[in-house]
Chains A and B, each alone.
Chain A
Amino acid sequence: MMTDDAIIARLRESLDELTAPSAASLPLEVPDLDTVVVPLTDLHPPRRRWVATAGVVGIVGIAAATLAAVVLTRAPSDRGESVGTPPIPTTAVLALGNLDGGVPRFTLDLPGSIVARGPELQSSGSNMGWQRQVFVAADHSDDRVLVINRYTGGLPFGDDSVEDFKDSSLDQPDTGLRERRAAGAAGGAVIAEIISASDVRPAMWIQARGLSDVQLSELVNGGLVSVDERSVAIADPSLGLIDAGPSAYGNGELWWSRMADYTLADGSRINVSASTGTSADRFNDALPFDTETVNVDGRKIYTWATKLLDNSSQRIDSWGNTDATEYLRGIEWHDGDFNVVVRVTGNVPEAVLLEVANALRLTAVP
């Protein structure tokens, strides 16, 4: 039997290996605290709701957590806001991370543009947590787009440490470290920088559209994704929908995701995405769901059609050859593992945001 000392020695050795500074580590750059500003007051849900729900969850466990999720999703109607016809989602997000004038918090002089970023409040079943994301869209002439989504942190629904968490994480979405990662994604060293900075982690997923086979191979061979697949192309560009299709998790498991980009009359954009948060099998099991149409600001956003994955045996590799017109796309929600995320880009009036929230029956964060 191994002694404690032997176990500890092996443990030390392994942890030393794990934590040894690597050549890929970014140079140390002290972040500027003064530039880390997020309108937290715009993002925080009422604390009493957290506290009250935490108490309920603690008392009656999972059943109460389910109930709490239902209560949360009914919040818009409780406040007298309009409600639409779609089924009440048990998961909903309204991200207001870019409401501070609607201006991206940093710009880069690179052949691309950062289209959305910021903290989001995410609700997923009985869990609610904060996530932080960096989106980069390299808007090249050949229409390649690479979107990077970086999840960090979070906390269980009802956790008493929510305030601490928000203090510690939510208000620091964009440090120098992340800016450099974003720069790498948008610039010439698209793949190398991302890999060296973040490795292949489950916490990172990418979505790519309009990529050639060669470019996809580069991603796969570079280790950024380990499944060779691509997103489905746009079926109807007039709808402003930019993307639909599966994404690949860095660990090789697919993370089914849909995105819709909705452009308002003034040029502002609202990006809506939904992801399964689970494996393809579970996603298939969850479908189909009803097709609905949501009107926002005189335009329509479609939910995905039931044909999306009507054949549960459909293989992932069929996506690349599938006729995109088979699929309607837009906004989807579902209970269980689905996450629905609305990202706001540009100077979107708050009234429009609320309209979107109401139309999607999202729990708006005042």
Chain B
Amino acid sequence: MQDFESFYQAHHADAVRWATALVGSRAIGEELAQDALLRVGQRLYRLDNPGGYLRMTVAHACASWHRTNHRDRLRTERLGVAEASTSPAANERLDALGRLPYRQRAAVVMRYWADWPEAEIAEALDCRPTTVRTLIHRGLANLRKEIES
């Protein structure tokens, strides 16, 4: 049985990357990832698939963050606040990604950047695999419009 310390060390970087990509902010991503890791840690010995549970927890935490920080995000977008560590070109694309509805954004990020299996994306987003495909399709179409415009 894996202990929390080794689990944390093995998954911390991935959790931060996922959360950062899903919320568009390194600082907030770190916070959410930390929350998710601690939550998994408290259940670690009862979980059959702690890695999968971590993915789901990160996705839920990010979704929750998006719901409750909608106003702040709009304000941020309006003011053009960008991550200091990314290039202008990357910022433009990330802005475009950030304008997608969260589920579309999450599906695209999970599938094409984090390389999660479709079934795990469906589990993380609480939907069916066919819905995941629809979200990805719509997400890419919307991204294309955003980027090309």
A1-60 residues at the B interface, CB under 8 angstroms: 1-2, 4, 7-8, 10-15, 17-22, 25, 28, 30-31, 33, 36
Residue B5 CB within 8 A of the other chain: yes
Determine the residue in chain B with the shortest Cβ distance to A3: B144
When A and B form their complex, what is the total count of cross-chain residue pairs whose Cβ atoms lie within 8 Å? 163
| Contact-residue size bin, chain B (C-beta under 8 Å from the other chain) | 35 or more
Interface readout for B79-108 with A: 1 if CB under 8 Å, 0 if not?
101011111011101100100000000001
List, in ascending order, chain A residues with CB within 8 A of B4's CB: 30, 33
Q: Do B36 and A168 touch across chains, with their CB atoms under 8 A apart?
A: yes
| Contact-residue size bin, chain A (C-beta under 8 Å from the other chain) | 35 or more
Q: Do B85 and A14 touch across chains, with their CB atoms under 8 A apart?
A: no
Residue A103 CB within 8 A of the other chain: no
List, in ascending order, chain A residues with CB within 8 A of B127's CB: none
Which single member of A18, A154, A165 contacts B83 (CB below 8 Å)? Answer: A18
Q: Do A11 and B32 touch across chains, with their CB atoms under 8 A apart?
A: no
B23-43 residues at the A interface, CB under 8 angstroms: 24-32, 34-36, 38-39, 41-42
Q: Do A172 and B57 touch across chains, with their CB atoms under 8 A apart?
A: no
Assembly CA distance A204 to B16 (angstroms): 19
CB proximity of A353 to chain B, nearest CB, Å: 26
List, in ascending order, chain A residues with CB within 8 A of B36's CB: 168
Residue B13 CB within 8 A of the other chain: yes
Interface readout for A117-133 with B: 1 if CB under 8 Å, 0 if not?
00000000001010000
Of the A-B pairs whose beta carbons lie under 8 Å apart in the complex, a sample of 14, sorted by A's number, is: A10-B93, A12-B112, A19-B21, A36-B38, A127-B68, A155-B67, A155-B68, A156-B67, A168-B38, A169-B35, A200-B84, A201-B28, A249-B75, A251-B81
Interface residues of A (CB under 8 A from B): 1-2, 4, 7-8, 10-15, 17-22, 25, 28, 30-31, 33, 36, 127, 129, 150, 152-156, 159, 161, 164-165, 167-169, 172, 175, 177, 197-204, 249-253, 277
